[in-house]
Amino acid sequence: MGAHSKNIVIEIQGLTKSFKDLSVLEGIDLKLYEKENLVVLGKSGSGKSVLIKCIVSLIKHDEGSIKVEDIELTNINEDDLMEVRKNIGFLFQGGALYDSMTVRENLAFPLTRLKEKLTVDDINQKIESILEDVGLPDAIDKRPSELSGGMKKRIGLARTLIVNPKILLYDEPTTGLDPITSNEISDLINETKDKFKTTSIIITHDINCVKIVADRIVMIKDGKIYKEGILEEFMNDKDPYIKSFFK
């Protein structure tokens, strides 16, 4: 109820996307409210990742409308898209850290491009501060190849947060991690929301992560919204498909 009285940050209507003959999204309607963690749940290949990639225009949608803070992304020009992307952070599944750069250079990369007026001292200070936030201050001069899966996700999150985005899109943040690290990342998502006042979409099929982070859940099946609600509604649902996720 609290969430619905807030401003709409992202509004998606009738979104469709196909790859050749394969229809992935078939008319998705979705609203993301300010300062909520919305979990998009669904089995692998259900189109969850395609959905958030459409939100940042990494994949162009076929039909429908995507509005980010009231700006329509359909047929948007490059300059306007850059402005929209300044407010969106995207955490990729594997972290997507640049292999050829150290952690410091990885974190400095978006800063030098998005906040051009910063001095070297400002950049270093921000890097050290964000690494403290994600609990990895000692990794500053390491290369991505020297980091574990969980550390890569933390650094990936740090790289996303360093430019203070209002909206965060997490693509399977806990996939491939052990249960302890997975819970740590889920806690970090909540801490990020509280500290940076972000609004997030979290794509996952990890129920532990859902239980920790979800303010609201949207379940996708066969490219359509199957159910929308809060965690308790999903936990108590008698539908066999939903029960198969939460059992």
- Output 161 or 217, the one with its CB closest to other proteins: 161
Q: Minimum Å distance from CB 113 to other proteins?
A: 5
Query: Residues 148 to 187: which contact other proteins by CB under 8 A?
Result: 159, 163
Nearest approach, Cβ of residue 125 and other proteins (Å): 20
* Subset of 79-138 contacting other proteins (CB under 8 A): 82, 85-86, 88-90, 92-94, 96-100, 109-110, 113-114
Three-state SS string over 140-196 comes to: CCCCHHHCCHHHHHHHHHHHHHCCCCCEEEEECCCCCCCHHHHHHHHHHHHHHHHHH
Site track 51-80 with other proteins (rule: CB under 8 A), x = hit: --x--x-x----------------------
CB of 239 to other proteins, least distance (A): 33
CA angle 206, 209, 212 (to 5 degrees): 150
First vs last C-alpha separation in the chain:
26
The answer to whether residues 68 and 224 touch, using CB atoms and an 8 Å cutoff, is no
Q: Rounded distance, CA 133 to CA 131, Å?
A: 5
C-alpha neighbours within 13 Å on the C-beta side of residue 14: 5
Question: Residue 225 Cβ, how far from other proteins at the closest point, in Å?
Answer: 25
Residue with smaller CB distance to other proteins, 51 or 219 = 51
- Using CB under 8 A as the binding rule, whether residue 48 contacts other proteins is answered as no
How far, in Å, are 126, 150, 159, 172, 178 from residue 146 at the CA level?
Answer: 22, 12, 17, 22, 18
Q: Which is nearer to other proteins, 30 or 168 (CB)?
A: 168
Total residues contacting other proteins by CB under 8 A comes to 23
Residues 5-44 touching other proteins, rule: CB under 8 A, are: none
**CB of 169: closest distance to other proteins in angstroms?**
9
Residues contributing to the site for other proteins (CB under 8 A): 53, 56, 58, 82, 85-86, 88-90, 92-94, 96-100, 109-110, 113-114, 159, 163
